[in-house]
């Protein structure tokens, strides 16, 4: 028997799966019915068949599910059996059992039937669901198919639309491309030509038959074979059908067209159809032909030396490239004034032989034939068909040779006709602008060739002339170079020979002037000094002229103190002006920065020349120098130097030649004042080299005014202003009759917020002072001009000493420079101090400061930037410092005596060596603090000796670094230096004064350079520069005039005490530890700077040199080592500009400044008054 429920199918018996699963009332009804039927069964007797009622409950349970059917059947069966026990008896037993049995049977049968029905119903439901799912799937598939069909319809519509747009666009392209369309059916041989195709040939649509033969008849005969061959190659081999052919127009003219096509094959691969386009390319063709022809003609002309040789090749090129059959060139014959055929070219010689022979035979006059017509009109001429032209003399011959169209054009050279080109074609032609343009361009090329040929001929002649002239110039140059070299050698030799005796004259004269001598002897010695100075000035001027002529006069750039530089010049020239009783005034505008960047030596030279001339040509009156700044900005300043005198003046007729070399205003004046006419010329050259201008005004009998404006740069390192307004203000009086002096002093006083009362006589001054005393505003200071003619300064001074009302006023005497004899007398007569004229800005300031509180004159107020007492080196004692030992290497006996006497006066011990070898021998015996080395000496010159000394120093340094310690080196290493000095300064002494001499000295290893003649002040300055401890400190800061008329060598101090003062202020006046620590740190860092700079210099590593020099420059400026900072800046500039290192001069200068700075710092540290800790830094 098959199971009621198949194993693959599960029928849920969960009542919630029934349609009434969400309601509980069917279960309640079922339970009530079962109870009701059970009660009925209990109420009826056993014989009644009441169990049949349970069939109703089973039927109802069928609505709840199979599980409920089973449960209901089981409960009903139990109730039927229970009724047998509980129902009241009645009826027969067999009826009871039969009724109960039938009831159970009915219950079972009904249950089975209900369950079977439920199972069938479930299967039907599943079948319905499956059918519905299939229907849904089919419906979805149909919908998808409909959607895809709709998309295909849309795509087809879009493709149709795009196809229509493409067809429309193709029609527009075809119409816009100016191409004609053709189509040829290869099976029926029918053809189609578009209206545009026909229009390109000049036909109307109905005038051109749509047959292939019609088109073939219009193709040029020479191109017809090309068309057929291209068609066969395209059909058989698949080659592109794209060719350029000539097609006859309706007018009979041939034009160039581009014919393109593509074949279409049928299913069997046989050609079935061919279609393509036709495009007019005549203009393009002629453009290409024009370029090609021009290139070929240019090549021919470039390879040809004459036009006659180039003409045949030009004709050949034009005929080949432009499709002419015959070309000819006709040239004018000067003898008979006719045209002759010079050359003729035939593309088919066998065809046109008779025409070429006829052309060579005939001559043509103006207006005759085509060449004659071109000659007459000077214009290109076309002939459509020369066989029909009556004026064409060769028409019959042209007809026989198949020549029809012709073109002639002229060739000109500077508007003159030089020839005529003539070309023929086998077809009639019409005027063609493209062809004409090409022909005209070729004509221009030929004309340019003839112009170049003529120019080359002229150039060749000119070249021959130039070569001849150059040969003459070379001979002249060699002669001039030899003369210049001879002059240079002569100048160098004469400079050396003149300076050598001048060194003795000037040196001995200076020594004698400093010794005790009678007034007459003093006058004679001053005359000797003046003459020597004039001679030295002349030698210097001649050397400057030589350098200017050779272009070797250079301008340096360095930071320098402007005020000190100018005041030094004023002090040098002051004795000369005072000796002539000429008032000498100098004024420097107070707003000008003191430290500027430029060439101080050239500035001195300019001022010396201008002021020297002003004093020379002024016998009475005043000479003034006014220094102003018309323009100042952050980086530049324009300096105006104005020199005015009340001298003789210059006549107007000499103004134009005043700045020329060896030119003077008056020869008689030259004899009187001993001039050479070089000073102003050199001054003008110097001013212009510095980028400035110089001008002057002058009037005879009134005086002259020279002024120059020179651009300078602001200093790289600005120093603090050394003065400030004096507070509380002083009451100042001035007694002078000089208006220029009054103006200068008034301006200086106003810069410190000080007023000034002036008087022009002693009586007026006394009245002014007494009135101020009565007004309870007594004067603090009275400046008295000693040169006042109406005043006895001594009596005037005693008046103040003896008068209580006047004694509170401090008297300052203004005297001429060099009047030292007046100082003691002035102090005895009541003057507190004196000032030498010309009055300097800072001198006047220092003289006024003590009036504030009556302090001694050397103690300025806080407004003056000078080091405090704790920073000043200890004043020199009565005992002179230990004498330094100097080695003088000099072969000239006079120079030995002069230099020895000068050095001895400076309290220095001097040893003499006659040449370089003796110097080496002397150095082996003892160490020296300084060496003065002559350059030109017998046996061994100064350069070789210096090199040997430096080599010995390097060997000793190497030995010490290798572990030798303080052990003395072996004799073979030349024990030239003591154990405490690794570098002995060597100063060159030479009579050669050219820049090349200085460079040679530095390259040899010398530290500095002195040009002979040498003055005592120059020698002293050089000793102080390289060995500051060798001499006692100077008692005054006032410049000492040089007896040679030149300023003493500008030797900047190794240290700037102003900067050291500022550093000391940071630590406090009572505490010098901070300053000591800064100096110690700098000395500790100096070996590191030395190592990096030296390494970068030797490797020529410009970037490393720039960085190392920049670092050393910054620390040097901080410590006040301005000279070392300038040397660092020079190295930094070389590195930054990538300047090739060809000389060791800049590095040697840096080394010498490094050594000098190091020694100066050590000396300064040890000489400070405050006690210092032992110096232990590594050096």
CATH number at residue 372: 3.30.450.40
pLDDT over threshold 80, residue 997: no
Cα–Cα dist 713/718, whole Å: 12
Secondary structure (H, E, C), 684-716 = HHHHHHCCCEEEEEEECCCEEEEEEEEEEEECC
Work out the average pLDDT over 403-417.
83
- Helix residue spans in 752-802 (DSSP H): 762-774, 793-802
HSE-CB of 607 using CA atoms within 13 angstroms: 31
Rg (CA), the chain: 63
Task: Say what the pLDDT of residue 998 is.
Answer: 74
Cα–Cα dist 734/835, whole Å: 13
Cα–Cα dist 248/251, whole Å: 8
Task: Say what the pLDDT of residue 1113 is.
Answer: 81
Q: How wide is the angle at C-alpha 528 spanned by C-alphas 527 and 534, nearest 5°?
A: 90
Is 656 among the domain residues? yes
Is 1050 among the domain residues? no
Record the tokens describing residue 589, joined without a space: 């505008």
CATH number at residue 710: 3.30.565.10
- Are 693 and 752 found together in one domain? no
For the chain, the domain total comes to: 7
Last-in-domain residue among 402, 437, 460 = 460
Task: Say what the pLDDT of residue 171 is.
Answer: 66
440 or 172, which is more confident? 440
- Transcribe 65-103 into DSSP letters: -HHHHHHHHHHHHHHHHHHHHHSPP-S-HHHHHHHHHHH
Is 551 among the domain residues? no
- Are 578 and 715 found together in one domain? yes
Query: Could you tell me the sign of the dihedral formed by the alpha carbons of 1035, 1041, 1043, 1044, in that order?
Result: positive
pLDDT over threshold 60, residue 1045: no
pLDDT over threshold 90, residue 1163: no
Distances in Å between the Cα of 723 and the Cα atoms of 140, 583, 590, 727 are 108, 27, 10, 12
Locate tokens 């046989």: which residue?
270
- Are 738 and 847 found together in one domain? yes
Is 542 among the domain residues? no
Contacts of 482 (CB under 8 A, 6+ apart): none
Record the tokens describing residue 748, joined without a space: 């200086």
Distances in Å between the Cα of 46 and the Cα atoms of 41, 81, 91, 100, 590 are 8, 11, 7, 9, 155
Q: What percent of the chain has pLDDT over 70?
A: 77
pLDDT over threshold 50, residue 51: yes
Last-in-domain residue among 425, 460, 495 = 460
Cis geometry, peptide bond prior to residue 838 (ω within 30 degrees of 0): yes
Work out the average pLDDT over 288-302.
80
pLDDT tens sequence across 270-289: 888 899 989 888 888 877 87
pLDDT over threshold 60, residue 730: yes
pLDDT over threshold 70, residue 1178: no
Distances in Å between the Cα of 197 and the Cα atoms of 509, 1112, 1131 are 117, 89, 84
Contact criterion met (CB below 8 Å) for 623 and 611? yes
Work out the average pLDDT over 684-710.
89
Work out the average pLDDT over 1059-1075.
62
Tell which residue, 104, 118, 103, has the closest CA to residue 68.
118
SS3 43: helix
Is 819 among the domain residues? yes
Is 1008 among the domain residues? yes
pTM score, two decimals? 0.42
- Are 715 and 676 found together in one domain? yes
854 backbone φψ class: left, alpha, beta (φ>0; ψ -120 to 50): left
- Are 571 and 709 found together in one domain? yes
73 or 640, which is more confident? 640
- Transcribe 272-290 into DSSP letters: EEEEEEEEE-HHHHHHHHH
In terms of average pLDDT, the best of 76-90, 347-361, 608-622 is: 608-622
- Transcribe 117-138 into DSSP letters: HHHHHHHHHHHHHHHHHHHHHH
Task: Say what the pLDDT of residue 800 is.
Answer: 81
Task: Say what the pLDDT of residue 944 is.
Answer: 92
219 or 1043, which is more confident? 219
pLDDT tens sequence across 491-534: 666 666 676 677 677 777 777 776 666 766 766 676 677 667 66
Contact criterion met (CB below 8 Å) for 235 and 272? no
- Are 732 and 694 found together in one domain? no
Tell which residue, 49, 39, 54, 52, has the closest CA to residue 94.
49
Record the tokens describing residue 206, joined without a space: 């109905």
* 3-state DSSP percent of the chain in helix, strand and coil, to 5: 55, 15, 30
Tell which residue, 942, 934, 932, 941, has the closest CA to residue 903.
932
Burial class (CB in 10 A: 0-12, 13-18, 19+), 1058: middle
pLDDT over threshold 80, residue 765: yes
Task: Say what the pLDDT of residue 623 is.
Answer: 93
Cα–Cα dist 290/441, whole Å: 8
Domain that holds residue 52: 15-129
pLDDT tens sequence across 377-386: 888 888 888 8
Q: Which residues pair with 400 in a beta bridge?
A: none
Work out the average pLDDT over 253-269.
88
Cα–Cα dist 881/884, whole Å: 9
Distances in Å between the Cα of 760 and the Cα atoms of 751, 791, 833 are 23, 10, 21
Is 811 among the domain residues? yes
- Count CB-CB contacts under 10 A for residue 815: 22
1051 backbone φψ class: left, alpha, beta (φ>0; ψ -120 to 50): beta
Is 434 among the domain residues? yes
Contact criterion met (CB below 8 Å) for 884 and 908? yes
pLDDT tens sequence across 1002-1015: 888 898 888 777 77
Phi, psi at 1066, each rounded to 5°: -65, -30
Record the tokens describing residue 1140, joined without a space: 């090739």
pLDDT tens sequence across 877-891: 334 455 688 999 988
Contacts of 972 (CB under 8 A, 6+ apart): none
Contact criterion met (CB below 8 Å) for 300 and 442? no
Q: Cα 509 to chain center, whole Å?
A: 56
Q: Cα 322 to chain center, whole Å?
A: 56
- Are 626 and 591 found together in one domain? yes
Cα–Cα dist 71/77, whole Å: 10
> Which band of pLDDT confidence, cut at 50, 70 and 90, is reported for residue 541?
low
Work out the average pLDDT over 1046-1060.
56
Task: Say what the pLDDT of residue 1118 is.
Answer: 72
Q: What percent of the chain has pLDDT over 90?
A: 8
pLDDT tens sequence across 936-947: 888 899 999 999
Task: Say what the pLDDT of residue 943 is.
Answer: 92
CATH number at residue 924: 3.40.50.2300
- Are 1023 and 1115 found together in one domain? no
- Are 709 and 758 found together in one domain? no
CATH number at residue 271: 3.30.450.20
Task: Say what the pLDDT of residue 91 is.
Answer: 58
Contact criterion met (CB below 8 Å) for 1136 and 1142? no
- Are 732 and 817 found together in one domain? yes
CATH number at residue 1127: 1.20.120.160
Contact criterion met (CB below 8 Å) for 862 and 1064? no
Contact criterion met (CB below 8 Å) for 381 and 373? yes
Record the tokens describing residue 591, joined without a space: 């707003």
Q: Classify strands 909-913 and 885-889 as parallel, antiparallel or unpaired.
A: parallel
Cα–Cα dist 359/345, whole Å: 11
Q: Cα 256 to chain center, whole Å?
A: 59
Contact criterion met (CB below 8 Å) for 837 and 815? yes
pLDDT over threshold 60, residue 863: no
- Are 608 and 717 found together in one domain? yes
- Are 574 and 717 found together in one domain? yes
């Amino acid at each position: 028997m098959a199971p009621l429920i198949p194993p693959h199918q599960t029928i849920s018996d969960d009542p919630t799966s029934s349609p009434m699963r969400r309601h509980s009332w069917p279960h309640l009804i079922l339970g009530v019915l079962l109870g009701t039927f059970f009660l009925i069964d209990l109420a009826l007797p056993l014989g009644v068949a009441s169990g049949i009622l349970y069939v109703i409950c089973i039927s109802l349970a069928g609505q709840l599910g199979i599980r409920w059917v089973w449960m209901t059947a089981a409960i009903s069966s139990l109730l039927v059996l229970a009724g047998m026990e509980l129902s009241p008896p009645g009826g027969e037993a067999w009826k009871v059992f039969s009724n109960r049995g039938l009831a159970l049977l009915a219950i079972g049968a009904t249950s089975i039937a209900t369950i079977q029905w439920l199972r069938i119903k479930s299967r039907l439901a599943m079948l319905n669901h499956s059918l519905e799912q299939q229907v849904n799937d089919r419906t979805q598939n149909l919908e998808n198919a409909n959607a895809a069909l709709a998309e295909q319809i849309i795509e087809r519509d879009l493709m149709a639309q795009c196809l229509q747009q493409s067809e429309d666009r193709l029609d527009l392209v075809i119409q816009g491309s100016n191409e004609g369309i053709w189509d040829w059916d290869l099976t029926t041989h029918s053809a189609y030509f578009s209206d545009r195709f026909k229009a390109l040939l000049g036909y109307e649509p109905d005038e051109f038959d749509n047959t292939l033969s019609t088109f073939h008849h219009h193709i040029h005969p020479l191109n017809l074979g090309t068309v057929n061959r291209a068609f066969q190659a395209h059909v058989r081999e698949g080659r592109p059908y794209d060719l350029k052919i000539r097609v006859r127009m309706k007018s009979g003219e041939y034009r160039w067209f581009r014919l393109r096509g593509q074949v279409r094959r049928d299913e069997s691969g046989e050609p079935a159809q061919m279609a393509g386009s036709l495009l007019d390319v005549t203009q393009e063709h002629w453009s290409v032909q024009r370029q090609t022809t021009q290139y070929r003609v240019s090549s021919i002309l470039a390879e040809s030396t004459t036009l006659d040789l180039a003409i045949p090749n030009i004709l050949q090129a034009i005929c080949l490239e432009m499709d002419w059959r015959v070309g000819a060139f006709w040239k004018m014959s000067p003898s008979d004034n006719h045209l002759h055929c010079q050359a003729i070219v035939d593309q088919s010689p066998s065809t046109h032989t008779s025409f070429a022979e006829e052309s060579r035979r005939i001559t043509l006059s103006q207006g005759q034939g085509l060449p004659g017509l071109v000659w007459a009109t000077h214009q290109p001429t076309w002939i459509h068909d020369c066989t029909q032209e009556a004026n064409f003399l060769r028409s019959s011959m042209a007809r026989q040779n198949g020549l029809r169209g012709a073109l002639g054009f002229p060739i000109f050279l500077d508007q003159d006709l030089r020839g005529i080109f003539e070309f023929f074609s086998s077809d009639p032609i019409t005027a063609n602008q493209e062809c004409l343009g090409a022909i005209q361009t070729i004509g221009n090329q030929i004309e340019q060739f003839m112009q170049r040929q003529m120019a080359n001929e002229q150039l060749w002649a000119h070249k021959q002339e130039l070569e001849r002239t150059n040969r003459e110039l070379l001979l002249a140059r060699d002669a001039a170079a030899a003369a210049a070299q001879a002059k240079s050698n002569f100048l160098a030799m004469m400079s050396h020979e003149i300076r050598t005796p001048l060194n003795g004259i000037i040196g001995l004269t200076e020594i004698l002037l400093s010794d005790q001598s009678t007034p007459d002897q003093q006058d004679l010695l001053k005359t000797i000094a003046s003459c020597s100075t004039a001679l030295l000035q002349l030698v210097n001027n001649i050397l400057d002229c030589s350098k200017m002529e050779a272009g070797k006069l250079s301008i340096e750039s360095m930071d320098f103190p402007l005020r000190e530089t100018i005041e030094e010049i004023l002090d040098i020239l002051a004795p000369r002006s005072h000796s002539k009783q000429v008032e000498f005034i100098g004024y420097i505008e107070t707003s000008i920065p003191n430290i500027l960047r430029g060439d101080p030596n050239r500035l001195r030279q300019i001022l010396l020349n201008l002021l020297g001339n002003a004093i020379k040509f002024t016998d009475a009156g005043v000479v003034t120098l006014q220094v102003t700044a018309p323009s100042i900005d952050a980086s530049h300043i324009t300096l105006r130097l104005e020199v005015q005198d009340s001298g003789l003046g210059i006549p107007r007729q000499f103004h134009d030649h005043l700045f020329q070399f060896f030119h003077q205003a008056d020869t008689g004046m030259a004899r009187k004042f001993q001039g050479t006419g070089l000073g102003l010329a050199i001054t003008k050259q110097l001013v212009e080299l510095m980028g400035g201008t110089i001008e002057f005004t002058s009037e005879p009998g009134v005086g002259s005014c020279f002024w120059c404006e020179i651009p300078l740069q602001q200093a790289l390192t600005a120093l603090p202003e050394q003065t400030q307004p004096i507070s509380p203000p002083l009451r100042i009086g001035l007694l002078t009759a000089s208006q220029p002096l009054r103006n200068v002093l008034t301006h200086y006083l106003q810069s410190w917020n000080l007023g000034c009362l002036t008087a022009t006589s002693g009586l007026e001054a006394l009245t002014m002072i007494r009135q101020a005393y009565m007004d309870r505003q007594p004067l603090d200071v009275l400046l008295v001009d000693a040169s006042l003619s109406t005043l006895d300064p001594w009596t005037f001074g005693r008046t103040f000493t003896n008068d209580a009302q006047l004694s509170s006023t401090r008297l300052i005497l203004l005297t001429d420079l060099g009047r030292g004899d007046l100082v003691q007398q002035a102090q005895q007569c009541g003057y507190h101090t004196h000032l030498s004229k010309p009055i300097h800005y800072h001198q006047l300031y220092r003289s006024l400061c003590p009036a504030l509180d009556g302090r001694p004159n050397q103690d300025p107020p806080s407004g003056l930037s000078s080091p405090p007492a704790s920073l000043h080196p200890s004043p020199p004692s009565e005992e002179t410092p230990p004498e330094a030992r100097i080695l003088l290497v000099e072969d000239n006996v006079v120079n030995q005596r002069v230099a020895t006497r000068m050095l001895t006066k400076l309290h220095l011990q001097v040893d003499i060596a006659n040449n370089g070898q003796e110097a080496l021998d002397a150095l082996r015996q003892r160490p020296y603090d300084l060496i003065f080395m002559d350059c030109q000496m017998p046996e061994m010159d100064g350069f070789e000796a210096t090199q040997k000394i430096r080599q010995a120093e390097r060997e000793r340094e190497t030995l010490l670094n290798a572990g030798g310690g303080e052990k003395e080196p072996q004799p073979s290493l030349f024990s030239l230096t003591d154990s405490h000095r690794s570098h002995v300064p060597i100063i060159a002494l030479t009579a050669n004064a050219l820049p090349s001499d200085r460079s040679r000295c530095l390259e040899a290893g010398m530290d500095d350079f002195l040009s002979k003649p040498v003055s005592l002040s120059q020698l002293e300055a050089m000793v102080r520069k390289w060995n500051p401890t060798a001499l006692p400190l100077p008692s005054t800061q006032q410049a000492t005039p040089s007896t040679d008329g030149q300023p003493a060598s500008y030797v900047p101090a190794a240290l700037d005490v102003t900067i050291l003062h500022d550093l000391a202020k940071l630590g406090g006046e009572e505490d010098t530890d901070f300053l000591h620590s800064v100096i110690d740190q700098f000395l500790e860092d100096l070996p590191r700077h030395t190592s990096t700079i030296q390494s970068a210099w030797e490797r020529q590593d410009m970037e490393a040199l720039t960085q190392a020099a920049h670092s050393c420059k910054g620390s040097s400026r901080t410590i006040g080592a301005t000279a070392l900072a300038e040397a660092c800046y020079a190295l930094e500039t070389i590195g930054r500009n990538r300047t090739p290192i060809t000389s060791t001069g800049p590095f040697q200068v840096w080394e010498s400044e490094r050594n000098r700075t190091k020694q100066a710092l050590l000396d300064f540290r040890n000489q400070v008054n405050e006690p210092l800790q032992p110096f232990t830094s590594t050096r």
